[in-house]
Amino acid sequence: MAATLSRTLRPLSRAVSSGLSSSKRVIPARTLQYTPRAFSTTTRRRDVELTDLTPTPISHLTETEALMAETVYKFAQEQVGPKVREMDEAEAMDPAVIEQLFEQGLMGIEIPEEYGGSGMNFTSAIIAIEELARVDPSVSVMVDVHNTLVNSAVMKYGDAEAQRKWLPKLASGTLGSFCLSEPASGSDSFALQTKAEKTANGYKINGSKMWITNSMEAGFFIVFANLDPSKGYKGITAFIVEKDTPGFSIAKKEKKLGIRASSTCTLSFDDVEIPKSNLLGEEGKGYKIAIGILNEGRIGIAAQMTGLALGAWENAAGYAWNDRKQFGQLIGTFQGMQHQLAQAYTEIAAARALVYNAARKKEVGQDYVVDAAMAKLYASQVAGRVAGSAVEWMGGMGFVREGIAEKMFRDSKIGAIYEGTSNIQLQTIAKKLQTQYTR
């Protein structure tokens, strides 16, 4: 399949025309099969009357999307795979990986081609995030935050001038961060304390942000601050801050349980002055931007968790069915093992169906908020279960820091925490159901 696809590569995007070598796969070819899908094109299809379309299986992809999956899979295997353990131990992202991701067009997947992006659809971004997570969830979340939070916010809420100025940079070499959480405001994110005030030329920001992904390597920060605390959450406003702005600094880098190559820092804003043009969207509309963007972003985290679960499963299944013998036979041939492997794979397929369904609903303009919450909730549960079982399936070999099993297990925990904890996803789902079912 890989050879056929590499022969049919077209210059649809830099991501799929990257000319990566088609050397032998390290792990088996994609096993959850994709085939072309009717209404998933790279253009917006909000005008489409969905009832007129013939339904297709949710796992079907367009040719472009399937090429994206194959290309990113190979890139992750060949370029990221050999560095995964080293980056985890060093708790740092290799700068060469970031550079390659920009070169491959994976940091501007949805950014229009006129701004130097790949001009692809949201599902393509979701596929890239999933494929990267299959090999390294740290690299995956870096790409996820940059594409589904930062680029999306500029594309959706930036005016023409902001888009002309920032999108080419975000597509070509400037990594982005999304700064909402603070020491005192996590799940209750709109209780944020960071303040902004107007100046003669623009705005001045004071406060701090905590848990900010990509912040060590980023040059572009979307920062939420309250411009008028008397209005409560309706004072929250989104601003753009560049790394070298005086008064901005990284106060602390966290040492974490998992996704250790992904940087997570506390940021300080001490009289950070920015021009008027660095306002993102409208004053007082930051809460709407945060809600809207995080709803999309959750589908990305769900994709990260699905990819992680598949990567952990493939690693352990490969070991059980090829390498490890006990009692004179491969451990994967014991029925007790087979049933567990089958159960886990079924759950991964179910998580993926939820993820793609949410992504497709977003693409066609349907309400996807509950779908995104269900996808993130379930995919993170599946990732935790599968990555945990995978350690056990490999026995002692799953527990040591030679392979990826123990790393995937540690990495899986974050899925239930960031971009809304599992309780917050349950709250979103339950609220909607209650409205629907209350007589």
Ligand X SMILES: Cc1cc2nc3c(=O)[nH]c(=O)nc-3n(C[C@H](O)[C@H](O)[C@H](O)COP(=O)(O)OP(=O)(O)OC[C@H]3O[C@@H](n4cnc5c(N)ncnc54)[C@H](O)[C@@H]3O)c2cc1C
Site residues, ligand X (CB under 6 A): 145, 178-181, 186-187, 211-213, 256, 264, 414, 417-421, 423-424, 427
Please say which residue, 331 or 424, places its beta carbon nearer to ligand X: 424
Residue 119 or 137: the one with the smaller Cβ distance to ligand X is 137
Task: Identify whether the C-beta of residue 276 lies closer than 8 Å to the C-beta of residue 223.
Answer: no
Nearer to ligand X, 172 or 427 (CB): 427
Q: Which is nearer to ligand X, 187 or 329 (CB)?
A: 187
**CB-based burial label for 19 (10 Å; 0-12, 13-18, 19+):** exposed
Nearest to ligand X of 84, 145 (CB atom): 145
Task: State the Rg of the chain over Cα.
Answer: 22
Quote the least distance from Cβ 34 to ligand X, whole Å.
30
Burial (0-12, 13-18, 19+ Cβ within 10 Å), 190: middle
Residue 394 CA, chain-centre distance (Å), reads 28
Of 37 and 407, nearer to ligand X (C-beta) is: 407
Closest CB 326 distance from ligand X, rounded Å: 37
Closer residue to ligand X (CB): 168 or 186: 186
Q: Cβ of residue 414: shortest distance to ligand X, in angstroms?
A: 5
Smallest gap from Cβ 219 to ligand X, in A, equals: 15
Q: Write down the least CB distance from residue 339 to ligand X, Å.
A: 32
Residue pair 132/76 in contact (Cβ under 8 Å)? The answer is: yes
Nearest residue relative to ligand X (C-beta): 186
Token code pair at residue 138: 């740290």
- For 156, list phi and psi in degrees, rounded to 5: -85, -35
Residue from 130, 131, 347, 419 carrying the catalytic annotation: 419
Query: Which value, to the nearest 10 degrees, does the dihedral of the CA atoms of residues 259, 262, 265, 271 take?
Result: -150
Shortest gap between Cβ of 199 and ligand X (angstroms)?
Answer: 25
The answer to whether 296 is a known catalytic residue is: no
Please, what is the minimum distance in Å from the beta carbon of residue 147 to ligand X?
13
> Is the Cβ of residue 48 or residue 216 nearer to ligand X in the bound state?
216
Nearest approach in angstroms of CB 243 to ligand X is: 15
Kindly state the tokens that stand for 180. Answer: 């909402």
CB nearer ligand X, residue 41 or residue 422: 422
Residues 46, 116, 98, 250, CA torsion sign: negative
Helix axes 286-318, 335-363, angle to 10 degrees: 150
Shortest Cβ 422–ligand X spacing (Å): 6
Identify whether the C-beta of residue 286 lies closer than 8 Å to the C-beta of residue 294: no
Active site residues: 419
